Structure 1
Amino acid sequence: MSEKSEQMKTSEAAQALGVSENTLRKYSQAVEKAASPAYFPRVKNTRRYRPEDLTVLKQMQDLVKAGQKVDQAAQELFAGEKEEAPVKTAREDQLEAALAAKDQEIAELKEQLAQLTAAKAAEKPEAALEPAADVLDLPDFDDGFLEDEPVTPEQKRAQVVADMAKSDQEVHEELLSRAQENAAKGAPTYRTLADMQLAPKKTPWWKKIFK
């Protein structure tokens, strides 16, 4: 037999206890007040009574017959079984109030941060800086005019030997050729052609005496 099939209706439980249905309802309300509002199972919002419930109600009936009131009898039977809500101390109330204030402060800071982020996103990006006109007008120089090509020691020695073998006229012509190449390429020339002319050789003083 299932537990649900053992449950009795109000009329059946009242008949088993030998009391009226109104008296049974009064006892049931006192039990729910002393123990729990959900002490008795319900079907369609109607109480159902289990065999153990009839035992408790029979004990209440005996206490009432002994001179106790219904509520007193229920409290005596269920003393210590009803859970009382814990009482908060003043310190707990203070902590809860402080936490609530902090939560409010955090919420306000989050709102301010969201507003700043939205305002920053709405700002127009700054215009990119353009190079000055005088910088744009500067000519592009070939790297060859700024840096010499790497020369190995062997090449340098060979160049020195070749330069020693050249005559003054050949050196003069080579300088003029390089100057003309630089001028054709548009490279800045810091020396004039006059500066590159070979100075006339001076006659030693002793040749003037013995001439």
Structure 2
Amino acid sequence: MSSKNETALVNPSTAAEELKISVATLRKYSLLVEKTTGRDDYYQRTAQRARLYTQQNIEDLKAFHKLAKTSDLTLSEAARQVFAISDKQAEDQKKADQKLEQQANALLDSKQVVKLLTALQQTIASQNKAIADLQAQVAAVQKQNEALLDAQKQIPAPEDKFAGMPDISGIVDADLAAEPQEKTPEQKRSEVAEDMQKSEDEVRGEILRRAHENAAKRAKANVHRTLADMQLPRKKHWWDRFLS
């Protein structure tokens, strides 16, 4: 059986001395073993291609040497019995080692899978927390918007100060239409000439009559006017020059 994993290696002379055979016989046995097993690398070698022997190699050669001396078997037959069994044990050991290695790799893979799953679960938990935080922020913004809309609905509409006032556009238009048109210079001179011919009592009576007429018109008409109407400039009459 090959024992390359063992560290204790001896040279041919040391191995031959332990086997109580010559170095030449050891070389012959070693060649037969390599031929029987079909492995040229059955024994480890130095850089100069000299064979090195482990303690297990020496034990196998002892068993082979004893079988060849105490039985009617040839050296080849004895080598096949000893080293065939030895090779089978080595193959079984190799298979067992491979199985152990596969189990170790499977265990390592399982640990890696568990580690990856744990990391994935942590990532998912972190993402779920981030989503929950975003949902809370969106809900808060929606609540603020609803509060603003409710507050806006509760604000009273501005009052129209002139909404309750009656429509006096027709009256104002009629009043303006009733006012005399602007007189021409000839008409004014004619009126002045006529006024000069009237007595003082007649002029005073004329002024009072027209004043009463204007007062009656104002009393008859609706005096509710808009602010703009109230700011219209007062039209001067021809008799205002006598009252100033």
TM-score tier (shorter): 0.3 to 0.5
Relative CO higher for 1 or 2, CA cutoff 8 Å, sep ≥ 6? Answer: 2
Give the TM-score normalised by the residue count of structure 2.
0.31
TM-score by length of 1: 0.35
Highest CA radius of gyration, 1 or 2? Answer: 2
User: Counting helix residues as a fraction of each chain, which structure ranks higher?
Assistant: 2
